Amino acid sequence: MASPAPFIRRDRLWHPPQFAPGYKTSVLRSPRRALLSLEAALGELSGPKFGHDMLAHDDNDLIRNHMVSGEAVGERIIVHGRVVDENARPVPGTLLEVWQANAGGKYRHVNDHYKAADDPNFGGCGRCITDADGHYYFRTIRPGPYPWRNNGSDWRPAHIHVSVFGEAFAQRLVTQMYFEGDPLIPLCPIVNTIPTLAARNMLIAQLDMGAMVPFDSLAYRFDIVLRGRRQAFFENRTEGL
């Protein structure tokens, strides 16, 4: 097979810097040397292929997939959107994983000791694979905000963590999705690790009344853009790889 086309360079001034002292944990966990910038090889231009056979039927339904005695408590929502690349091409068949706190802002995690109540019917874990057009959706409850130790008690806005693979390891992305209108967004030290308002706004899901389920769930739209492939003009491409 011919070597796949390389990717457009990641704009690291658009992403949050590793050293972002407003988010204190980053101080000791950020490399100080410059990254080594190189053209990608096959190991970066390819990536794992996950099939639908790995999914259980309710993996994308967080209201029911960890149910013990009934459905999860909270504001019922659909989250949906498209995964595309920087060239606006859909990214089909890619695995998307999500995790979040419950409606009271408590995570189902052995290390979370926040005083808000657990919801025995909510795990906060979901996943799905994008369709041929790059579209995905899942159903959940809106997570609650919660306090964390940073500058005394800072508060996280309501958010859902999102992990996406793309078709190549170079496209891998983990981020967080916020909700339109949440007054905690501009106060959040983690949101504010991202340098520009335009970039921060890409993480805010919009209320989507056209996608709500009548008498059941509100809907939010969250589109995701992964790195796109560069067009390779007159480049020496290795044949027969």
**Residues taking part in catalysis:** 107, 146, 156, 159, 161
Q: Count Cβ atoms within 10 A of the Cβ of residue 211 and give its class: 0-12 exposed, 13-18 middle, 19 or more buried.
A: middle
Structure tokens at 95: 């695995």
Among the candidate windows 131-139, 179-187, 194-202, 207-215, which touches other proteins by CB under 8 A?
A: 194-202
Q: Nearer to other proteins by C-beta: 78 or 138? A: 138
Question: Residue 69: what are its φ and ψ, rounded to 5°?
Answer: -125, -5
- 30 φ/ψ sector (left φ>0, alpha ψ -120 to 50, else beta): beta
Binders of other proteins among residues 128 to 157 (CB under 8 A) are none
Of 9-17, 72-80, 134-142, 212-220, the window that binds other proteins (rule: CB under 8 A) is 9-17
Q: Does 49 bind other proteins (CB under 8 A)?
A: yes
**Contact flag: residue 72 with other proteins (CB under 8 A):** no
Please state the closest distance from residue 48 (CB atom) to other proteins, in A: 4
Q: Quick check: 128 and 61 in contact, CB under 8 A?
A: no
Which one of residues 75, 87, 180, 206 is an interface residue with other proteins (CB under 8 A)? 87
Q: What angle do CA 97, 100, 103 make, to 5 degrees?
A: 145
The verdict on 208 binding other proteins (CB under 8 A) reads no
Q: Does the footprint of other proteins cover residue 225 (CB under 8 A)?
A: yes
Please say whether the dihedral angle defined by the alpha carbons of residues 170, 172, 178 and 184, taken in this order, is positive or negative. Answer: negative
> Smaller CB distance to other proteins: residue 12 or 213?
12
| Site residue total, other proteins (CB under 8 A) | 86
CB of 215 to other proteins, least distance (A): 29
Cα separation of 150 and 160, whole Å?
Answer: 20
